[in-house]
A and B are shown apart, each in its own frame.
Chain A
């Protein structure tokens, strides 16, 4: 996926005025970024919006991109920030996707679905702080240090959050498997 040389060429062409050169970058990274957005936000429409906005923002700010760094790392942070903003805004909106507000019966119905839906559902039961670190680690494949940079947190906090998040996920998934009483 990561082709630094090609990325650099595309960026240079964009900066030279060739907007179409941005397309290979979108094609190359849309899958991983969309996956992260979907896992963070929990629904395809929001994930699509966040991914699309992130790419457009990245294009608009391309002149601020430090070409000594990996394009993907820079792009990734923009996308994650887009998602985190959406989560924060949603938290304060009227239609909060409150982690505790998912009805038990809905949660039980989800048990019969495909694995990714099961994991997605479980992720949505985590608070955004815990969900973020799990998604960045597993779907963005970021290291602890990269997550720390993305979320502006100490590495130690990232590690402890990730540990707790996984434990909670285990609890949620275990509850998910529990037979109906």
Chain B
């Protein structure tokens, strides 16, 4: 076994990050310790191969393809927002750029595991052989780590948070990029849980109009902050999502959202931390979610 300090010297030597003194020390180590010498030689050969393999020319039409997309995208980089958020909520668009990249492309994970969970099929057996089993094993490992996180533990100790997370429709919202962005923004989350908004949701004609900015019979009764939030493009995309539309049809979820405790939950650091956790989509697709959610505070979070 190579000594950790030798390992560090070898590593940094390969990466040319040694001071002259350390270089001298490395030379001594390589002289005195055969294992360190052998390791150094092996790794130096690897580094040499990696460096020789060099960069690769991209496809000749890559620039043109990118520029076609750039010209076609409807999201101009400095496009003004339709309306500012209420002044009492000084968050600007930056808050709304929380990590969507990972979530967007983790769709495969959510689909694979989410379908399993949704239809009540038993969890992927950790011991199952084959590629799906391997994937499931990796995903379940990440989900378990999520369930063991401090933020999730704090939420499951909070009755209002637990009630929300127990709702399948709410979890579908959490799995949606735009809904999650909205829930993570204080002003937009406040709008989602505002009683005037939740009351309007009970009207099936409200959402289709709200998502395109059309006038609705509820405009007069909506809180001004809700009206301002409804002009936000991310908010509109969230409202137009299948997940949110399904959530809006759930009487029980609407009642939970209108509960002031739900609004309070969404303003907690724990809730934000959970939203920002890269493992959330995997946890949402885990068959162990309910068990982890309802485990007693002293119990392990996952069976």
Contact = CB atoms under 8 A, between A and B. Distances in A.
Contact of A51 (B8, B62, B134): B62
B180 to A, nearest CB: 15
A96 B77 contact: no
Contacts of B14: 166
B67 A82 contact: no
A90 B78 contact: no
Given A26-B67, A48-B58, A134 B50 contact: yes
A48 B57 CA distance: 11
Contacts of B59: 34, 44, 48
A93 B17 CA distance: 39
Nearest to B74: A60
Contacts of A148: none
A120 B56 CA distance: 11
Dominant SS among interface residues on chain B: helix
Interface stretch (B105-113, B154-162, B202-210, B230-238): B105-113
Contacts of A52: 62, 65-66, 69
A138 B50 contact: yes
A167 B43 contact: yes
B69 A19 contact: no
B179 to A, nearest CB: 19
A93 B93 contact: no
Contacts of A144: 15, 17
Given A84-B102, A94-B131, A162-B11, 5 more contacts: A26-B66, A30-B63, A35-B56, A92-B138, A115-B53
Contact of B108 (A15, A93, A163, A166): A93
Nearest to B58: A34
A119 B50 contact: yes
B106 A64 contact: no
Contact of B7 (A31, A85, A95, A163): A163
A76 interface: no
